[in-house]
Amino acid sequence: MFKEYFQYKGISFPGLIYSPRALEAAHNDFQVLDDDVFNVTYQKSGTVWMLEILSLIRSDGDPSWCRTVPNWDRAPWFETVLGLGRAQRNPPPRLISSHLPVQLFAKSFFSSKAKVIYTVRNPKDVLVSLYHFAQIFRPYKDPGSLDQFLDKFLEGDVPFGSWFDHVRGWLQLRGRDNFFCISYEELQQDLRGSVERLCAFLGRRLGPAALDAVVANASFAAMRRNRMSNFSLSPAFILDVRRTPFLRKGIAGDWKNHLTAEQSARFDRVYRERMAGLGVAFPWDA
Nearest approach, Cβ of residue 256 and ligand A3P (Å): 12
Residue from 218, 228, 239, 259 in contact with ligand A3P (CB under 6 A): 218
Q: Are 120 and 181 in contact (CB under 8 A)?
A: yes
**Which residues, including other chains, have CB under 8 Å from residue 104's CB and lie 6 or more apart?**
8, 9, 11, 23, 26, 27, 79
Residue 58 binds ligand A3P (CB under 6 A): no
- Cα–Cα distance measured from residue 173 to residue 38, given in angstroms and rounded to the nearest whole number: 14
Is 44 or 74 the residue whose CB approaches ligand A3P more closely?
44
Residue from 150, 223, 228, 239 in contact with ligand A3P (CB under 6 A): 223
Is 24 or 222 the residue whose CB approaches ligand A3P more closely?
222
**Contact positions with ligand A3P (CB under 6 A) in 119-138:** 125, 129, 132
Residue 249 binds ligand A3P (CB under 6 A): yes
Residue 230 binds ligand A3P (CB under 6 A): no
Residue 101 binds ligand A3P (CB under 6 A): no
- Please list the alpha-helical segments (H only) found in the chain: 20-28, 47-58, 64-68, 71-74, 83-89, 123-133, 146-155, 163-171, 184-189, 191-202, 208-217, 220-225, 261-275
Residue 215 binds ligand A3P (CB under 6 A): no
Residue 49 binds ligand A3P (CB under 6 A): yes
Q: Are 124 and 252 in contact (CB under 8 A)?
A: no
Q: Which of 231, 254, 269, 5 is nearest to 129 (CA)?
A: 254
Q: Are 117 and 96 in contact (CB under 8 A)?
A: no
- Residue 132 is a catalytic residue: no
Nearest approach, Cβ of residue 19 and ligand A3P (Å): 21
Q: Which residues bind ligand A3P (CB under 6 A)?
A: 41, 43-49, 125, 129, 132, 218-220, 223, 247-250, 254
